[in-house]
Amino acid sequence: MLFLNNNQLKQLPAKLFDSSKRLLYINLDDNKLKQLPKNLLSHKYLTYISVMNNELEKMDEEALQARLGASDDVTFEQ
C-alpha cells in the first residue's frame, strides 16, 4: 500500500513506481495532479488506484481500458 494523498503533489516522476512491481494499492487523492505516469496502470498486481480530487486533464486511454475489468468502482467527474 502506498498513501500519497493530501500532499499538494502537482506531478509524479515518470519512473516513481518502476521498482514497486508488487504494489497493490495507491491512494493519490486530494493532490493537484494533472496527469499520471503512463506506466502506473501497467502494474500487474495493482488492484486499487484512487485519484479523487485532483486536476487530471488526461489519462492513457488504452491502459485505463485494459485495467477497467479489475475495478468495480470507476467514476469520472468534472
Q: What is the pLDDT of residue 33?
A: 95
Q: How far apart are CA 58 and CA 23, in angstroms?
A: 23
How far apart, in whole angstroms, are the C-alpha atoms of residue 3 and residue 29?
9
List phi, psi (to 5°) of 48: -145, 125
Query: DSSP label at 62?
Result: H
Q: How many CB atoms lie within 10 A of CB 41?
A: 20
pLDDT, residue 78, reads: 54
- Domains of the chain (ranges; CATH) run 1-78 (3.80.10.10)
DSSP reduced 3-state for 40: helix
3-state secondary structure of 41: helix
pLDDT tens for the chain, 78 residues: list them.
999 999 999 999 988 888 888 889 999 999 999 988 877 877 888 888 899 999 998 776 666 666 666 555 555 555
Question: What predicted TM-score, i.e. pTM, was given to this entire model?
Answer: 0.76
